[in-house]
């Protein structure tokens, strides 16, 4: 019995996967090419953490 339901759901699930893939392909069509933006994001995060560590060392303990 479970195989029967799986057979019923499989085409619908595959149709949704195909629609999602078409959507992603269309969305990526106009995306800028070049270096991965993740490298820029990681670099910005590292710089922000370094700044926060530097600021943490300069805190006035009486403020807390």
Render pLDDT for 44-56 as a digit per residue (tens, 0 to 9). Answer: 999 999 999 988 7
- The answer, yes or no, to whether residue 35 has pLDDT greater than 60, is yes
* Burial class, 46, CB count within 10 angstroms (exposed 0-12 / middle 13-18 / buried 19+): exposed
Residue 44 lies in a domain: yes
Residue 18 lies in a domain: yes
User: What global pTM score does this model have?
Assistant: 0.45
**What range defines the domain where residue 27 resides?**
2-59
In the chain, how many domains are there? 1
Residue 10 lies in a domain: yes
Residue 31 lies in a domain: yes
């Amino acid at each position: 019995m479970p195989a029967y339901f799986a057979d019923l759901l499989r085409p619908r699930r595959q149709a949704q996967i195909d629609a999602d893939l078409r959507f992603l392909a269309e969305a990526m069509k106009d995306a800028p090419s070049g270096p991965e933006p993740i490298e820029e994001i990681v670099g910005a995060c590292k710089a922000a953490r370094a700044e926060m560590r530097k600021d943490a060392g300069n805190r006035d303990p009486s403020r807390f």
